[in-house]
Amino acid sequence: MSSLFSKAKVGSLELQNHLVMSPLTRSRAPGNIPNDLMAEYYGQRATMGLIITEGTSPSPNGLGYSSIPGIYSDEQVAGWKKVTDAVHAKGGKIFVQLMHTGRISHVLNMPKGARIVAPSAVQAAGQIFTAEGMKDHPVPQEMSAADIIVAQAEFVKAATNAVKAGFDGVELHAANGYLLEQFLRKNSNTRTDNYGGSIEGRARFVLEVAEATIAAIGKDKVGIRLSPFGAASDMHPYPEMEADYGWLAGKLNALGLAYVHLVDHSAMGAPAVPASMRATFRSTFKNTLILAGGYDGKSAEADLAAGKADLFAFGRPALANPDLVKRLKTDAALNAPDMATAYAGGAKGYTDYPTLA
């Protein structure tokens, strides 16, 4: 698997290899502030070509889950600086994923004064964990024109804060049913203004956020994650989806983003991303393409050799194997992830996974 471990590029960055650590929510940030334990965790995994952090909120309104980090305050920026220093000290590269949860939230998980906002006042099915147990998702407040402007500015501020914190770039989380994808999808966006209706309207918020973020920190520092056909957080595929995302691929290419990160959730029961859609992104989007979803070393090497993508993202294997690169290179057995310790808690199931002797 020599090609997989050769140097790669994303934007103007040179990476150690073609392996990416997927964004993985771990809920280890009490008070929504990154800490020393998080710095240790990410530093352990710095041999990955690129680390993409867990979802990190650009706003108090985006803190839908308990103990997830933000990047909108000076204290949070200082906390993230510990993380980026730990990764860079070992030669790694790291982007922060900007995740506004939108309607996937609950008031019990949010700071005082925060609001649960979304493109439309459409309640998501399902429940969310809180300190008082599982609760139904609430009906969100439909964002006004002023709310949209504020949210866009929050993404831009978070991106500039990311640069201050030492990150190599940011990933806009337009997947998994959170705010950016809530605008893209028909079932969560029923607006009749310029931000709803056709794909041109539903994609407007995403594209404006991307354009403004690029203007603030540079196109080489901005990527985006998409989950076409994903069903997380009460998302529903629809007949025109492949055409809509194909159109979006062209618009993202025109913006010159550093990368598109496509995730396939078929392993979790969602429809698979069609091979034709992956091929559309490969041919339409001219910069780096990252694929995620069920990869192991051999399948990633095969798809790299076939030219299907440039980088390949690993989630649970990276969670449980701080030395995943070495294990894949030597075809060593992998630690199995302990999902009972995946969220919240301390070092157990976080920084205590064993490495090879």
Identified catalytic residue from 41, 72, 178, 195: 178
Which residue stretches of the chain are H helix? Answer: 36-44, 74-89, 145-164, 179-184, 199-202, 204-217, 241-255, 275-284, 297-305, 316-320, 324-330
Name the β-bridge partners of 118.
142
Q: Is the alpha carbon torsion for 277, 282, 283, 286 positive or negative? A: positive
Tokens of 352: 């205590």
SS3 of the chain: helix, strand, coil, percent, to 5: 40, 15, 45
Decide if 178 is catalytic.
yes
Residue 46 contacts residue 86 (beta carbons within 8 Å): yes
Q: Is the alpha carbon torsion for 248, 254, 257, 260 positive or negative? A: positive
Single-letter residue type at 128: I
Q: Which residues are catalytic?
A: 178
